[in-house]
Amino acid sequence: MSAVRFIDVPNMIRWVSSRGVEAIIGEMAAVVEEDFRRWHEFEKTPRIASHSLTGVIELMPTSDGDIFGFKYVNGHPNNPLGGLQTVTAFGMLADVSSGYPVFISEMTIMTALRTAATSAMAAQHLARPDSRVMALIGTGSQAEFQSLGFRALLGINEVRIWDTDPAAMAKFAHNARALGFDVHEASSAADATSGADIITTCTADKVNATVLTDAMVGRGVHVNAIGGDCPGKTELEAAILDRARVFVEYTPQTRIEGEIQQQAPDFPVTELWEVIDGSRPGRTSPEDITVFDSVGFAIEDFAALRYTCAAVEGTDFYTHLDLVADPTDPKDLFSFAVGSGADRPVVQAVHG
């Protein structure tokens, strides 16, 4: 039997509760950075997207030659109106040499962790080292994870927040204060960004919006733009990009989905891996405005899956799935399928 390790939602919750969100994000960020440093080892392609009037369903594949990974993810902004998550996901790792899957996990929670890990890791390279205050424009499901990521990697503990939904602001303020954050509930986006060293934008509406205006972004600010992630959805006024040094994950994908879809096809950007490996500069002075135009890329999910798979090894935070038909005689699938002879399937639960 070829058993595949599997983390379902209850086990993911147990693991996150046991290890701690802040610790996981910090450790995951190191693995994401490690995989960005070996960028050239990976197969890269923009994600495969199926768009509808209500949202998008995407596949995000990559391989480093030894391991293949993919994530299935959706984005449906109106889902919360029906009590559903805006984003859900699951992912898999497989052995390239055999093609057999080896690890499957829920990725709704994991994607929130890896998005925060990537954001904070990028800010380590792009934000001013003396940054102490972050503004959050959008306090939905990603907000607490982002705050914990920036505290883990940059020491940020003061957060200024704004959301058009008062309930979302109240939810975040309650959760964040319980986590030890100093929270300012702003009266507007402009109020939230006043005095901020880092501005994170993370809104859900699938529209070209101006969540952050040029006037809100002063010299030296780092903008972590993570809400614009599909064609026709942006958050930043284009004038901000004209004044900033803009950094992206994978340029062909970001030109379709990111903030730079507002710009000409030759608008200059730097891929983040180039800063991480030292081949191109990031921030060049305390006065620079830096923008991380992040849409999420498959290598980040690969790193998150790789980290999680290793982190839970030898624990009881996973079970096994008998997912692959694996007859004794690989050329006699029929006998296995009909349950004859020695290949009669045996149903059993296997636990890690």
- Residues serving a catalytic function are 229
Q: State the Cα–Cα distance between residues 211 and 217, nearest whole angstrom.
A: 12
Q: Which helix (H) or strand (E) holds 79?
A: none
What does the block give as tokens for 145? Answer: 């994870």
- In this structure, the number of other CB atoms found within 10 A of the CB of residue 268 comes to 9
CA atoms within 13 A on the CB side of 250: 20
CA terminus-to-terminus distance, the chain: 15
Exposure class string for 139-157: b at 16+ Cβ within 10 A, else e = bbbbbbbbbbbbbbbbebb
Cβ atoms of 43 and 62 within 8 Å: the answer is yes
CA nearest 293: which of 340, 339, 235? 235
Q: Where are the alpha helices (DSSP H) in 312-348?
A: 333-338
The CA distance from 25 to 118, in Å, is 9
| C-alpha to C-alpha distance for 326 and 346, rounded to whole angstroms | 12
Q: What is the pairing mode between strands 182-185 and 290-293?
A: unpaired
Phi and psi torsions of 13, nearest 5°? -60, -40
- How are beta strands 89-95 and 67-75 bridged, if at all? antiparallel
Beta-bridged to residue 284, according to DSSP, are none
